[in-house]
Amino acid sequence: AQSVTQLDSQVPVFEEAPVELRCNYSSSVSVYLFWYVQYPNQGLQLLLKYLSGSTLVKGINGFEAEFNKSQTSFHLRKPSVHISDTAEYFCAVMNTGFQKLVFGTGTRLLVSP
């Protein structure tokens, strides 16, 4: 079975500052990794995904994440956030043999002016 831990339930940050949202996963087999964003009153949108290849993955809206197999982490980063980045961010993992996505509990990113 897979599990995902998002260590921070809320991350407050000032506009134009860098941010890192942490995600650690647990799995005994190979996995695919994802970050989703949920804006207020909206559905989930895929930010980026790691399937294989380069461990540094670039996504939409200037976000990127790095897959670290030895540390079983997939932290999300952005060098300079905007007010519009205020949202809930979910890390998710999927066993490569199945299609069930297991989500973390989410991290609320609060960007202030």
Partner 1 sequence: DSGVTQTPKHLITATGQRVTLRCSPRSGDLSVYWYQQSLDQGLQFLIQYYNGEERAKGNILERFSAQQFPDLHSELNLSSLELGDSALYFCASSVDRTGQKYFGPGTRLTVT
Site residues, partner 1 (CB under 8 A): 32, 34, 36, 42-46, 49, 51, 90, 94, 98-106
Distance, CA of 103 to CA of 94 (rounded, Å): 9
Kindly report the backbone phi and psi dihedral angles of residue 86, in degrees, each rounded to the nearest multiple of 5, phi listed first.
-60, 120
Distance, CA of 67 to CA of 71 (rounded, Å): 9
Nearer residue to partner 1 within complex by CB, 15 or 101: 101
CB of 99 to partner 1, least distance (A): 6
CB 87 within 8 A of CB 26: no
Nearer residue to partner 1 within complex by CB, 14 or 98: 98
CB of 105 to partner 1, least distance (A): 5
Q: How many Å separate Cα 98 from the centre of its chain? A: 20
CB of 50 to partner 1, least distance (A): 10
